[in-house]
Structure 1
Amino acid sequence: MKLYVDTADVDRIRDVAALGVVDGVTTNPSIVAEAGVGYREAVESVADTVDGPVFAQTIAADVDGMVREGRAYQAWADEVVVKLPATREGFAALARLRADGVPAGTTVVFSAEQAVLAAKNDASFVAPYVGRLDDAGADGVGAVERICRIYDAQGFETDVLAASVRNTTQALALYEAGVDAVTMSPDVLEAHVGHPKTAEGMAGFEAAWGDRGSPIGE
């Protein structure tokens, strides 16, 4: 399973990458705009900060524009994966890019039907939006589980990359569902680390050891 961090803030990426578990970075137009930089600058900076793929979403609304952007993104860094929307235009652009061997997949996915179209186009990944499905009154984790079952039944090799993951409760349910990848904010990833009982246990060890210093004499 892959863990991606969903941000264009290189300082936050550097912080969470120190945990040793970050497999890559996902971005989108909103995230890049919030960072206050151009998309190329964002992708290049992120690629210089972390090992692994950087996911970059197309901005164009038409098929030809999406294809041009997706191809151009490949020159920005060594491992750029193109994100295309789950729209008629997005699926058409996906078919063309994948036929050329460009790493690309489908994002803003809200249904299993969309996920099937992505997989039939040999998408590198499909990104269902868990939190936003919940916001719409649906079962986000349940939708991802259904996509996973369909992919397993049909032998699709497209990775299921769960997105819009708001908290560790959702993240754990997705891990149990057997997803291929999860992307989350730095805050949600950081929330995996701490536990009150861990802090309590460490305080007890520190109190017991007192001022004896390092056991290796440094």
Structure 2
Amino acid sequence: MKFFIDTADLDEIREALSWGCLAGVTTNPSLYARTGGKLADFEDHMVKIAKMCGDLPVSAESQAKTTEGMIEEGRHLASLAPNIVVKLPICAESLAATHTLAAEGVRINMTLIFSAPQALLAANAGARYVSPFVGRFDDIGEDGISELANVVTCIQNYDWTGKNVDDEVEIITASVRTPNHVTQAALMGADIATVPFGALKKCLKHPLTDQGMASFDADWAKVVAAQ
């Protein structure tokens, strides 16, 4: 399973890239707002992220509300850098926009997916990525992992050749909160987990690793002291 980082923070992206295990970046309006970014700087900020990431996919979300607006804004966002993927929320307007944009070679990440039927509709419309959310189910006391499993099974049941520019549909596990979300997504065969930097750092940590390192350091200090 590939790791994307779910952030618009340049420093977080830079550090995650340095680890050598990052395969892409996803952003959304909330994440951009958290950086303190202004509307006038949004496009430049997306270009900075895209350049930083080389050829890795970077999702930039359209804020248009009509099909025509999504098509226009999608074309513009895609023109900013060759690795920008246009992110659209699942709805009737975005399905129509995806159908047009995918036919033009624009890659679409369909977001805010909470059910298998939504994911199937997005894939049939031509979405390159479908992003089912996990953590938001947990927030309301429901099981996001079981819903993700339904999406994975349904999407992987079919051949999506000819539906989009790359002839494949990848599942991005989104709204990831914990290392267990990552584990469960990988076990069921989701293609990607897009993870906030805080959660990504949690994936790196384990108390037994910390204990082991402390033990090694203490034993090595004894070796040094004995010289």
TM-score by length of structure 2 reads 0.88
2:214 to 191, 195, 203: 203
- Tell me how large the CA RMSD over aligned residues is: 1.6
Runs of 4+ in 1 over 4 A off after TM superposition: none
Letter in 1 for 2:156: D
User: Is contact 1:111-1:128 (8 Å) kept?
Assistant: yes
Q: Which runs of 5+ in 2 are unaligned?
A: 161-167
CA-CA distance at 1:212 after TM superposition: 7.3
Mapped partners of 1:27, 1:155: distance in 2: 28
Mapped partners of 2:106, 2:19: distance in 1: 30
2:177 to 152, 159, 166: 166
Paired-residue identity, %: 38
Mapped partners of 1:115, 1:82: distance in 2: 16
SS in structure 2 at match of 1:59: coil
Which residue in 1 is equivalent to 2:16? 16
CA-CA distance at 1:45 after TM superposition: 1.8
CA-CA distance at 1:36 after TM superposition: 2.0
User: Is contact 1:163-1:182 (8 Å) kept?
Assistant: yes
1:166-194 CA-partner distances (Å, limit 9, x unpaired): 11111111111110111010010011112
1:104-134 CA-partner distances (Å, limit 9, x unpaired): 1311111111111111112101001111122
Mapped partners of 1:210, 1:135: distance in 2: 46
CA-CA distance at 1:207 after TM superposition: 2.5
Mapped partners of 2:36, 2:201: distance in 1: 23
Which residue in 2 is equivalent to 1:119? 123
Letter in 2 for 1:100: E
Which residue in 2 is equivalent to 1:86? 90
Which residue in 2 is equivalent to 1:181? 192
1:57 and 2:61 aligned: yes
Mapped partners of 1:140, 1:196: distance in 2: 26
1:44 to 47, 50, 57: 47
Letter in 2 for 1:30: S
TM-score by length of structure 1 reads 0.91
1:128-164 CA-partner distances (Å, limit 9, x unpaired): 1111122234321111111111122223431111100
User: Is contact 1:16-1:190 (8 Å) kept?
Assistant: no
Mapped partners of 2:80, 2:157: distance in 1: 36
My pick for the range that moved more, 88-97 or 195-204, is 195-204
1:135 to 112, 130, 139: 139
Letter in 2 for 1:6: D
SS in structure 1 at match of 2:22: coil
Mapped partners of 2:60, 2:169: distance in 1: 18
